[in-house]
Amino acid sequence: MAADLRTRLGHVELPNPILTASGCAASGRELAQFFDISRIGAIVTKSVMLGPRSGRPTPRMAETPSGMLNSIGLQGPGIDAFLQRDLPWLLSRGARAVVSIAGGTVAEYAELATRLSEAAGVTAIEVNISCPNVEHRGQVFACDPAAAAAVIEEVRGRARYDIPVFAKLSPDVTDIVAVAKACVSAGADGLSLINTLLGMVIDTDTMRPVLAGETGGLSGPAIRPVAVRCIWQVRAALPGVPIIGMGGVRTGRDAFEMILAGASMVSVGTVIFHDPSACVRILRELDEELSQRGIERLADVVGLAHEPRTAPRRGLAGTAAARRMP
């Protein structure tokens, strides 16, 4: 690696900024068949809930232009099985584990935070308050600043002090900055931007919705500009808050774009379905993107797109403008 790709997840240092996106890597086991999962910044696990959950009926997915809809419904075995089986396995492979949690009530999130804090080896908690595939679609926590803050406050209060807590937000809101500010005020150490957008596909042969769940979350390169916009807006309003950027990242160039918008880490999601080894490829490509531009440190260019155009655009490393980054 030519460039210094180290980044910070709250106070935790990661060797590089490429993570998996929650729900696209299960708990790492399947992807480990294709690459060494300890090489990337961290594995962000599929959202774990308190109890086992069967998810939604099939069909659960539909391919869309440069993207897909999914309606999985948070299928998983629950926190007990996760702590018994998945977390120890991740740690045994030398991977860093960012554990995504999801719940139906504030109390469930709190209980999950407590359980994870009692376990050793959790690098960070990502609080999924924005999954669109839940029974009460109108009650997604991340659609209401007060509800989002209530969850984050409780999780931050229960989580061990040295485990950073990131809030994962939905782009399906009028003002994502208001939700972001509410989460940070409630104690979030950082923000994950963005979850899927709610979408729908109708089969014109059957003349009915394709998904059994009718609506589903849209992901993939189709939503990347929305993600970049959200990261940009939140970075502008909260420049000191670390952001994990995600939404359709397919190449190192795409990851670099999110970093310029203000993300200090980048999660790779749907593209993993297309290319199981995408994370390590994107990591290599990002390194090349930085090196080609003479950028020595990733940290120097986080949020750089916010700088006025008069700032030097080449050979940045060492300039005063480039050093004002967290």
Partner 1 sequence: MTSGQNEPETGPVQVRGTVLTVRRVDAYYAMTIVAPAIAARFRPGQFVALAVGGPESPMLLRRAFSIHDVRPDHGGTVEFVFAAHGPGTRWLAERRARDMLDIAGPLGRPFPLPRDPVSCLLVGGGYGSAPLFALAARLRERRCEVDFLLGAASGDRVFGALTARRGGRTATITTEDGSLGLRGVVTDVLGQVIHEARTDVIYACGPMPMLRQVTMLAGRYDIPVQVAVEEEMACGIGVCMTCVLPVIGNDGITRMVRSCTDGPVFRGNQVRWDDVGTIPFDAFGAPGWEPRTRRASQAAQAALAAGNGDGAAAGPQPTPRRPGHGS
Query: Least distance in Å: CB of 204 to partner 1?
Result: 13
Q: What angle do CA 137, 139, 140 make, to 5 degrees?
A: 80
Query: Least distance in Å: CB of 291 to partner 1?
Result: 21
CA distances from 132 to 127, 208, 215, 246, 326 (A): 14, 20, 9, 16, 32
Sign of CA dihedral 131, 132, 134, 140: positive
Site for partner 1 in 220-249 (CB under 8 A): 220-221
Q: How far apart are CA 323 and CA 304, in angstroms?
A: 10
3-class state of residue 249 by DSSP: coil
Rule CB under 8 A: is residue 324 a binding residue for partner 1? Answer: no
Q: Are 287 and 5 in contact (CB under 8 A)?
A: yes
Rule CB under 8 A: is residue 32 a binding residue for partner 1? Answer: yes
Q: Which of 219, 220, 171, 222 is closest to 192 using CA atoms?
A: 171
Rule CB under 8 A: is residue 33 a binding residue for partner 1? Answer: yes
Residue of the chain from 174, 204, 206, 310 that contacts partner 1 (CB under 8 A) = 206
How many C-alpha atoms does 290 have within 13 Å on its Cβ side? Answer: 28
Query: Least distance in Å: CB of 144 to partner 1?
Result: 24
Rule CB under 8 A: is residue 121 a binding residue for partner 1? Answer: no
In the bound state with partner 1, the residue whose beta carbon lies nearer, of 112 and 295, is 112
In the bound state with partner 1, the residue whose beta carbon lies nearer, of 274 and 323, is 274
CA distances from 270 to 2, 71, 310 (A): 28, 13, 36
In the bound state with partner 1, the residue whose beta carbon lies nearer, of 63 and 162, is 63
Task: Please indicate whether residue 230 is annotated as part of the active site.
Answer: no
Position of tokens 């809030």?
167
Helix, strand, coil: what percent of the chain each, to 5?
Answer: 35, 20, 45
Rule CB under 8 A: is residue 217 a binding residue for partner 1? Answer: no
Amino acid in position 319: T
Cα 196 off chain centre by = 10
Site for partner 1 in 58-117 (CB under 8 A): 58-61, 63, 65-68, 70, 72, 75-78, 85
In the bound state with partner 1, the residue whose beta carbon lies nearer, of 34 and 237, is 34
In the bound state with partner 1, the residue whose beta carbon lies nearer, of 192 and 219, is 219
**Stretch of residues binding partner 1 (CB under 8 A), selected from 6-14, 22-30, 145-153, 254-262:** 22-30
Rule CB under 8 A: is residue 200 a binding residue for partner 1? Answer: no
Site for partner 1 in 245-304 (CB under 8 A): 270-277
Looking at the annotation, which residues are catalytic? Answer: 131
| Residues lying near partner 1 in the complex (CB under 8 A) | 23-26, 29-34, 46, 51-61, 63, 65-68, 70, 72, 75-78, 85, 135, 203, 206, 208-210, 212, 220-221, 270-277
